[in-house]
Chain A
Amino acid sequence: EDQVTQSPEALRLQEGESSSLNCSYTVSGLRGLFWYRQDPGKGPEFLFTLYSAGEEKEKERLKATLTKKESFLHITAPKPEDSATYLCAVLAAGGTSYGKLTFGQGTILTVHP
């Protein structure tokens, strides 16, 4: 069974204090790994898709990386507006998991001014 574990569950940072969020996964053939940001009461907002180990994507203060077992979301010099829940999801190749995203529980990030 596909599994996604995100850590930490919650992270508090001071503005400007860089850190990383972790997403560990177990999947029978990775077709893609996705990062989303979710604000309270809203739907997830797409951030990045990573398809193969070694791939990296960047957007403003965020950088996502992928290995064969985990992905990291690095946040450089965060601002209070980066406060949100960050979700990781994997898409497996083939079998009964075909086409189905498996989500982690999310990391709640709070950035204090």
Chain B
Amino acid sequence: DVKVTQSSRYLVKRTGEKVFLECVQDMDHENMFWYRQDPGLGLRLIYFSYDVKMKEKGDIPEGYSVSREKKERFSLILESASTNQTSMYLCASSEAVQETQYFGPGTRLLVL
């Protein structure tokens, strides 16, 4: 079974803090994704990576950056957290671009 893990289930941060969300997959998948999920807005793609050290912007990249130094690990960075970044963050991975994306359990982030 594909397993995608995320470093924290719940996180509380202060405005202006730098926040790291980490995601690890154990299936040697090429592609990894970061989404946020908000009531009424659904899932929106922040960034994705189709290879180590390669990244592409999704629909809402502003205020975020990513890092993928190793194939199995994809990090989402909030350079200076703001209250409008309070959300559920979901990481996913897939073997190939057209293949199924498998999701992690999510990190619920609260920015005060």
Contact = CB atoms under 8 A, between A and B. Distances in A.
Interface residues of A, number: 22
Interface stretch (B14-22, B62-70, B73-81, B104-112): B104-112
A34 B101 contact: yes
Nearest to B33: A101
B34 interface: no
Interface in B56-112: 56, 58-59, 90, 97-106, 108
A44 B97 contact: no
B31 interface: yes
Contacts of A41: 106, 108
Contacts of A91: 97-98
A105 B42 contact: yes
A45 interface: yes
Interface string A32-51: 10101000011111100100
Contact of B103 (A32, A44, A98): A44
Interface in B34-61: 40, 42-43, 45, 48, 50, 56, 58-59
Contacts of B40: 105
A100 B48 contact: yes
A43 B106 contact: yes
Contacts of B50: 99
A99 B97 contact: yes
Contacts of A43: 4, 90, 103-106
B97 A106 contact: no
B101 A101 contact: yes
A42 B100 CA distance: 18
Given A91-B98, A99-B97, A103-B43, A42 B106 contact: yes
Interface of A: 31-32, 34, 36, 41-46, 49, 87, 89, 91, 98-101, 103-106
Given A91-B97, A100-B59, A101-B45, 19 more contacts: A32-B100, A34-B101, A42-B105, A43-B4, A43-B103, A43-B105, A43-B106, A44-B90, A46-B100, A46-B102, A49-B100, A99-B97, A99-B98, A100-B58, A101-B33, A101-B101, A103-B42, A103-B43, A105-B42
